[in-house]
Structure 1
Amino acid sequence: MVQTDDPELKDSREKHFGSQSVGDDGWLNKQWATLIWLALVVWALWLSGLGRSPIVNWNGLPEVGRFWLAMFHPTLTVEFLGVMLAAAGVTLAFAVCGTACSLVIGLVFGIASSRVWWRVFWPGRTGWLWWTGVRTVLSIPRAIHEWIWGLLLLSVLGLDPLVGVLAIALPFGAITAKVFSEILDETPTAPLEALINSGVKPGRAFLYGHLPQALPNLISYGFYRFECSLRAAAVLGVIGAGGLGYQIFLSAQSLQYEELWTGFYALIFLNGLVDGWSGWLRKRMGFVGRMALTETAPSRQISDSGLESDPVAEGSRRVFSQRGQRWPVLLSWGAIALAFPTCLAYLDIDWGRLLRARSLFADIIVQVTPDKVLPNFSFELLPIALQTVAMSVLAITLAGLGGVLFSFPAAQNFFLPGGVLHGEGEREKGSAGYLGLWVSRLVLLAARAIPAPILAFVILLGMLPGMWPGVLALAFHNFGILGRLMAEVNENLPEGPVRGLRSLGASAGGVVFYGILPANLARFLAYSLYRWEVCLRETVIVGLV
Structure 2
Amino acid sequence: MPNNRHWEINSTGKKLALLSLLFLLSALICIPFADLKIYPSEPWRELGRIAWGFVTPWWDDPWLLVQALGQTIAFALLAVVLAVPVGMLLAMLWHWRVVRMLAASVRAVHEIFWGLLFMQLWGLSATTGLLAILIPYSGVFAKVFAEIFTRQSPLPQATLAPASDRFSRYAYTLIPQAFAELSHYVRYRFECALRSSAILGFIGLPTLGFHLETAFKQGQYSEAAALLWVFFILIATIRFWLQPKLLPVYVIAAIWLLPETPPVSGGMLWQFISEDIWPRSLQDGDLSAALSWYARVFTSEAWPALLQTLMLTQLALVLTGAIALMVYPLGSRALAGRYRLPGRGLLLVLRSTPEMMFAFVLLLLFGPSGLPAVVALALHNGGLIGFLAAGHSEKQIQRLDDPSGMNRYLYQQTPRLYPGFLAFLFYRWEVILRESAIMGILGIATLGFFIDSAFEELRYDKAFFLILVTALLNILVDSVSRRLRRVSGAEDAGGLG
For normalisation by structure 1, the TM-score amounts to: 0.72
1:501–1:515 contact (8 Å) kept in structure 2:
no
**Residues 44 and 347 of structure 1: CA distance in aligned 2, closer, same or farther (over 3 Å):** same
Matched, 1:160 2:125: yes
Q: Which runs of 5+ in 1 are unaligned?
A: 1-23, 119-130, 279-331, 417-432
Name the SS for the 2:330 alignment partner: coil
Paired position in structure 1 for 2:429: 532
2:57–2:226 contact (8 Å) kept in structure 1:
yes
Matched AA of 1:343: A
Distance in 2 of aligned mates of 1:110 and 1:221:
14
Shift, 1:44, TM fit: 2.2
2:317–2:378 contact (8 Å) kept in structure 1:
yes
Q: Which moved more, 1:87-96 or 1:509-518?
A: 509-518
Paired position in structure 2 for 1:225: 189
1:63–1:462 contact (8 Å) kept in structure 2:
no
Paired position in structure 1 for 2:379: 476
Shift, 1:514, TM fit: 2.7
Distance in 2 of aligned mates of 1:239 and 1:396:
26
Paired position in structure 2 for 1:287: none
Matched AA of 2:73: L
Distance in 2 of aligned mates of 1:437 and 1:255:
34
Paired position in structure 1 for 2:22: 36
**Residues 224 and 405 of structure 1: CA distance in aligned 2, closer, same or farther (over 3 Å):** same
Match of residue 246, structure 2, among 327, 335, 341: 335
Superposition map of 1:515-526 within 5 A? 515-526=412-423
Match of residue 309, structure 2, among 383, 388, 398: 388
Number of residue pairs matched by the alignment: 423
**Residues 197 and 43 of structure 1: CA distance in aligned 2, closer, same or farther (over 3 Å):** farther
Match of residue 195, structure 1, among 153, 159, 162: 159
**Residues 138 and 453 of structure 1: CA distance in aligned 2, closer, same or farther (over 3 Å):** same
Distance in 2 of aligned mates of 1:374 and 1:227:
44
1:227–1:275 contact (8 Å) kept in structure 2:
no
Q: Which moved more, 1:366-375 or 1:228-237?
A: 366-375
Paired position in structure 2 for 1:296: none
Shift, 1:145, TM fit: 0.5
Match of residue 363, structure 1, among 274, 282, 291: 274
Superposition map of 1:85-124 within 5 A? 85-113=66-94, 118=95
Distance in 2 of aligned mates of 1:515 and 1:103:
37
Shift, 1:501, TM fit: 4.3
Shift, 1:82, TM fit: 2.5
Q: Which runs of 5+ in 2 are unaligned?
A: 1-9, 443-497
Shift, 1:353, TM fit: 5.0
Match of residue 148, structure 1, among 113, 119, 130: 113
2:35–2:369 contact (8 Å) kept in structure 1:
no
Shift, 1:536, TM fit: 0.5
Deviations 1:442-501 (A, max 9, x none): 111112222111221111111121110111111111122112111121122233xxx154
Superposition map of 1:35-434 within 5 A? 35-48=21-34, 53=37, 55=38, 57-77=40-60, 80-113=61-94, 118=95, 131-192=96-157, 194-195=158-159, 200-274=164-238, 277=241, 332-347=243-258, 353=264, 358-360=269-271, 362-363=273-274, 367=278, 375-377=293-295, 378-380=298-300, 381-416=302-337, 433=338
2:133–2:197 contact (8 Å) kept in structure 1:
yes
Name the SS for the 1:65 alignment partner: helix
Deviations 1:97-118 (A, max 9, x none): 11112212211112222xxxx4
Matched AA of 1:538: E
Shift, 1:56, TM fit: 5.1
Distance in 2 of aligned mates of 1:471 and 1:537:
13
Name the SS for the 1:48 alignment partner: coil
Matched, 1:509 2:492: no
Larger radius of gyration: 1
Name the structure with the higher helix share: 2
Give the root-mean-square deviation of aligned CA atoms.
2.8
Shift, 1:354, TM fit: 8.3
Name the SS for the 1:47 alignment partner: coil
Name the SS for the 1:466 alignment partner: coil
**Residues 275 and 478 of structure 1: CA distance in aligned 2, closer, same or farther (over 3 Å):** farther
1:408–1:414 contact (8 Å) kept in structure 2:
yes
Identity score, percent:
27
Matched AA of 2:84: L
For normalisation by structure 2, the TM-score amounts to: 0.78
Shift, 1:259, TM fit: 1.4
**Residues 472 and 396 of structure 1: CA distance in aligned 2, closer, same or farther (over 3 Å):** same
Distance in 2 of aligned mates of 1:395 and 1:373:
34
Deviations 1:400-436 (A, max 9, x none): 22222222221234433xxxxxxxxxxxxxxxx2xx3
Distance in 2 of aligned mates of 1:269 and 1:356:
44
Distance in 1 of aligned mates of 2:141 and 2:391:
20
Distance in 2 of aligned mates of 1:207 and 1:30:
37
Q: Which moved more, 1:338-347 or 1:228-237?
A: 338-347
Shift, 1:339, TM fit: 1.6
Distance in 1 of aligned mates of 2:82 and 2:367:
40
Distance in 2 of aligned mates of 1:352 and 1:49:
44
Distance in 2 of aligned mates of 1:217 and 1:354:
42
2:88–2:145 contact (8 Å) kept in structure 1:
yes
